[in-house]
Each structure stands twice: as C-alpha cells, then as structure tokens.
Amino acid sequence: MKLFLDTANLAEITEINGWGVLDGVTTNPTLAGKEKRAFADIIREICDEVGGDVSAEVVATDTDGMLREATELAAIADNVVIKLPLTPAGLSACRQLTDRGVKTNVTLCFSAPQAILAAQAGATYVSPFAGRLDDIANDGIALIAEIADIFRIQGYRTEVLAASLRSPQHVAQAAAVGANVATLPAKVFHQMVKHPLTDAGLERFLADWEVYQASLEA
Ligand code: G3P
C-alpha cells in the first residue's frame, strides 16, 4: 500500500518526506485555504518537493469549467493528478481527462456504486472517505473493503485511495482490507511512528551503552 500525506502545508510535507515513507500528497480546497497563498504556487512547491502523485482539486461544478481548471493545474508539473468530485459532471471530466492521458482522483466517494462509476470513467484513483462515514455511524473501512473486493473481482485498474483516515488503526485496517493507497494527515503519521516501548527500549539501550563504554575506560 502506498502512503500519501493529506495536506497543503509544505513544512509538513518536507518533514514527512524526510522520513523516506511518502509516495504522494493529496490536497483539497479546505486544506489549500489554510495556507493563505495562491493555489498554483502551493501545488508547484509541493510537486517540487515530492516526486510522486500530487492531487489538486478543481472547484468548478460543470464539466467545461473542470476541464479548464484541469488544463491549468496539469500544466504546473508532470506529477499533478486532477481531483474531481463524484458527480455526473466530474465523471464526464474524468473520462475526457483519462482519454487525454491525464491522471485523475475521483473524490467524495461514499458508496460502492459510486466507486464503480469512477472506475468506469477511467479514474486513476477513487477516494472513499472512511472517517466521514464513521462520523455518521456508518462503517468507512467496510466500504473500502467492499470497493477493493469489487475492483479485484472485476479487474478494474482504478486504485482505491482510502481517504479521511483519522487514526493509525484506520491506516492498518485500510491496508488489511486491500486499499492501494492511504492518505492521512501529518498528525496520524506522527501517531503511527510512536510507541512507548520503542522510546523505553531506546532509552535503555543508550544507558546500557554508556555503562559498557565506561567499563572499557575503567
Ligand atoms: O482529502 C480528503 C479527506 O482525506 C479529508 O478528510 O478528515 O476532512 O474527512 P477529513
């Protein structure tokens, strides 16, 4: 499973990219708005930092408008992926971009039938939002499992990008049910790496090393 960072913040991207674990980045209009800078500049800088796929979302709601924005965004860098909403207009734009060889991420997916439509439209990625389903007492990970099963059985090449992941457990569960990609905020990367036994074990090893070195000098 590939790991993407869900943010538009360059400092977060640079930090997590430095760990050597990052395959790409996803952004959305909400995340971009937090940066208070021109969207094209944000995407350009992220693409300079990260070699993998970087999703940039259109905000037009009609197909022609989406395609105009997509053309501008795709011109920023070779690794830009055009993020489109799971609407009839978004599916139509997805099909046209796919036919032109432009990578796409169909977002705001909340059901298996929607995911099938994204695959039929030739999407590179479809993004089911696990956390937002959990928020309304549905089972987000069950949806990711269902979509992954359908895509495997049917041979769809669209990758399942598990989004709206809120915890390390979500990431492990998404991996276990066959998601191709998980996108998560920097906070969850930090939660994933931490374990109290790792900290305690390292402290003990370093203390024992000091004792060992002192014994050699004695
Ligand atoms: O980028 C899409 C998705 O990951 C957003 O997550 O936490 O706002 O539901 P969240």
Go through the chain and tell me how many residues it has.
218
Q: By percentage, how much of the chain surpasses pLDDT 90? A: 100
Residue 83 bears catalytic tag: yes
CA–CA dist 121, 199 (Å, integer)? 47
Q: How many C-beta atoms surround the C-beta of residue 106 within 10 A?
A: 29
Residues in contact with 85: Cβ distance below 8 Å, sequence separation at least 6, in sequence order = 58, 61, 106, 107, 108
Q: Which atom of ligand 1 is nearest to the CA of 131?
A: 9
Q: How far apart are the first and last CA of the chain?
A: 51
CB of 164 within 6 A of ligand 1: the answer is yes
Domain assignment present for 208: no
- 173 located within any domain: yes
Residue 26 in contact with ligand 1 by CB distance below 6 A: yes
- 212 assigned to some structural domain: no
Q: Would you say 35 and 42 are in contact if contact means Cβ atoms under 8 Å apart?
A: yes
Q: Is residue 207 part of a domain?
A: no
**Of residues 199, 128, 196, 184, the one with CA closest to residue 16:** 184
In a domain, 205, yes or no: no
Spatial contact of 34 and 25, defined as CB atoms under 8 Å apart: no
- Look at residue 58 and tell me if it is in a domain: yes
Tell me the pLDDT tens digit for each residue of 126-138: 999 999 999 999 9
Domain count for the chain: 1
Q: Is the CB of 129 under 6 A from ligand 1?
A: yes
| Closest approach atom of ligand 1 to CA 163 | 4
Range of the domain at 47: 2-193
Residue type, 3: L
Ligand 1 pocket residue status of 105, Cβ below 6 Å: no
Q: What's the pLDDT at 218?
A: 85
Going from the C-alpha of 116 to that of each of 75, 148, 154, 156, the distances in angstroms are 29, 11, 10, 9
Quickly count: other Cβ atoms within 10 Å of residue 153's Cβ.
Answer: 8
DSSP 21: -
Q: Is residue 68 part of a domain?
A: yes
Catalytic residue among 2, 34, 83, 187: 83
125 lines ligand 1 (CB under 6 A): no
CA of 176 to the centre of ligand 1 (A): 20
Q: Which residues of the chain have pLDDT under 70?
A: none
Torsion over CA: 67, 68, 72, 75 (sign): positive
Q: Is residue 216 one of the residues assigned to a domain?
A: no
Among residues 166, 102, 109, the alpha carbon closest in space to that of 143 is found at 109
Q: Which of 3, 4, 5, 6 to mutate to test the pocket of ligand 1 (most atoms within 8 A of CB)?
A: 6
DSSP state at residue 163: B
Ordered alpha helix ranges (H), 4-129: 10-18, 29-33, 39-49, 63-74, 88-99, 112-120
User: Helix, strand or coil for residue 145?
Assistant: helix
Can you give the CATH number for the domain in which 161 is found? 3.20.20.70
